[in-house]
Amino acid sequence: MPIEMVIEKLGTSPGQGSILEQIDKLLRREQRKQLLDMLEQVKDEEIEHRETKIEFFVRQSGKKQPATLRIFLPDWRGYDEIFWHALGDYVILALHIVKDVKYDTRGKITLHYFATMEEGKLPEEIKDIIGRIAYLVETEILPTDFTRFRRMDERRHQLGEMSKEEAAAIGAAFKLITSVLKL
């Protein structure tokens, strides 16, 4: 999404948070659409050999307690932490209603999520999404250097922890915004 479209969108729709958080939300929405398109393109034959089981599910309790879903990926037993972090990153991106993600090297991933009316997914749908993401990560169609999950807690509200690329992008956005506002 070009920066001009982002600025126009920010100016025409209400948003929560700082300007940087609003830009992040818009870009994540676009990334989510792109990821969901990629997941739809994965053919059933490519993942039919993959075993993905729902091991445990507890329904959401009103708007206070999230749903809990534990999925078992036997093929991922003993996988390196980098693959698990990438899987967690893409699960958060695809579902975006995730409160917490935990994994262990025994092949299990546990999600705590809120199912909203318009975007709530059934456990079977989430299982399918996770299986498809696992396939894309394994085959290196999705890179393993996506790091939102790894830094989710560490970087919250810490501007000084920003990478050089993030700082440069934010600086360019501010420069463009200030030049537009001067017009």
The parent domain of residue 89 ranges over 3-8+16-182
- Over pLDDT 90: what percentage of the chain? 32
pLDDT recorded at residue 109: 94
- 47 vs 119: which has the higher pLDDT: 47
Instruction: Say which residue, 6 or 1, is predicted with more confidence.
Output: 6
Task: Please say if the pLDDT value at position 21 is more than 80.
Answer: no
pLDDT band at 155; cut points 50, 70, 90: very low
Q: How many domains does the chain have?
A: 1
pLDDT band at 146 (very low <50, low <70, confident <90, very high): low
State the DSSP string of 89-146. Answer: HHHHHHH--EEEEEEETTTEEEEEE---TTT---HHHHHHHHHHHHHHHHTTSS-S--
Residue whose token pair is 């318009």: 118
Give the pLDDT score at 175.
75
DSSP for residue 171: H
Quote the pLDDT of residue 111.
93
pLDDT digits (tens, 9 = 90+) for 52-104: 999 999 998 888 889 999 999 999 998 988 889 899 989 999 988 888 899 98
